[in-house]
Amino acid sequence: MDTAQPAATAPDPQNGRLSWFTRISYGLGDTAMNIVAGAMTILTFFYTDYAGVEPTTVGLVFLISRIFDGVSDLIMGFIVERTNSKWGKSRPWILWSSIPFCVSIVLIYTVPQGSDFMKFVYLFITYNFCNTICYTALNLPYGSLSAMMTSISRERDMLSITRMALSPIGKIISISATLPLIKVLGDNQAAWIKVMSIWAVLAFILLMLCFTQCKETVVIEARKKVSKVPVIKSLKCLFCNKYFWMAMTIWMMQCIIQMVTGTVLPYYCKYIF
């Protein structure tokens, strides 16, 4: 018979069980990222109606950036596999990536006035710095962290459930509050920067809570052999895996739906609804 689990904020290395505070802290990590992701869904609206960027320029930046974004995920996966620190493999990246991620979301909205080419270059650099580099370096290790917090399958399921329950909260907050706050703060580009700074600070606090409470206690033996497998062979195995292509297809469909609805909705509300 199991003994009663004392209240704690960290996993018990004796049985791998996690407290509810730890589970919630893990879920709030995704809440933090979705606060920023929610605001990003109306990024096109900001570019065209507040920063004065041509829609074709915005579309070109997004199109080219998708190519780099796919490559960065693969690269980050290899980096995490080879990371060894006193905090583990995945957990330290939450610490290392939080500040650059929060700064990058503010930089996106500080578009300078100038020629169309200068705006294109600025958009391309800041958008990819935030989405392709910082978000990938934060989100991918975060997703793999749950497997290293406990070896009990039920506890991992609870982490996933908590994450899925808390994840939409961040997007709901940012989507519903961003435009009203911008109206209050002046309804101009400076107002966007102020609001994004507020979301960045809130996201940073939640990410730090996630980092401090979600500790790696599991060492997966298979990971020790991964570094001995050549990169080319690893990629070949990946591309021959039918589940990889199935998952990628589903993810592509989801991203297309989110991008289309998120881009069109603000314009529909302003000019039609």
Greatest Cα pair distance, the chain, in angstroms, is 71
- Mean pLDDT for the stretch of residues 250-256: 82
Residues 6+ apart with CB under 8 A from 48: 54, 55, 58
pLDDT of residue 85: 84
What's the first-to-final CA gap in the chain, in angstroms? 60
Nearest CA-CA partner of 98 in 216, 234, 202? 202
Nearest CA-CA partner of 213 in 28, 14, 72, 4? 28
The model's pLDDT over 1-35, given as tens digits with 9 standing for 90+, comes to 444 433 334 444 445 688 889 999 999 999 999 88
Specify the higher pLDDT residue, 232 or 220.
232
User: What letter represents residue 140's amino acid?
Assistant: L
What mean pLDDT is reported for the chain?
Answer: 83
**Whole-prediction pTM value?**
0.79
pLDDT of residue 228: 66
C-alpha dist (Å) from residue 65 to 70, 133, 162: 9, 11, 31
Q: How far does CA 181 lie from the centroid of its chain?
A: 23
Query: Which residue, chain included where needed, has tokens 């998952």?
Result: 247
pLDDT of residue 16: 60
Give the span between the Cα atoms of 188 and 247, in whole angstroms: 40
133-137, 168-172, 205-209, 255-259: least confidently modelled range? 255-259
Nearest CA-CA partner of 229 in 77, 70, 67? 77
pLDDT of residue 195: 93
pLDDT of residue 6: 39
The model's pLDDT over 34-58, given as tens digits with 9 standing for 90+, comes to 888 887 778 888 888 888 888 888 8
Nearest CA-CA partner of 205 in 99, 133, 81, 104? 99
The model's pLDDT over 86-122, given as tens digits with 9 standing for 90+, comes to 888 889 999 999 999 999 999 999 998 888 889 899 9
pLDDT of residue 49: 86
Query: Which DSSP helix (H) or strand (E) runs through 36?
Result: helix 20-40
Give the span between the Cα atoms of 186 and 179, in whole angstroms: 11
Superfamily of chain region 20-224: MFS general substrate transporter like domains (1.20.1250.20)
C-alpha dist (Å) from residue 153 to 14, 83, 215: 15, 24, 17
pLDDT of residue 7: 39
140-149, 184-193, 214-223: least confidently modelled range? 214-223
- Mean pLDDT for the stretch of residues 173-192: 90
pLDDT of residue 227: 52
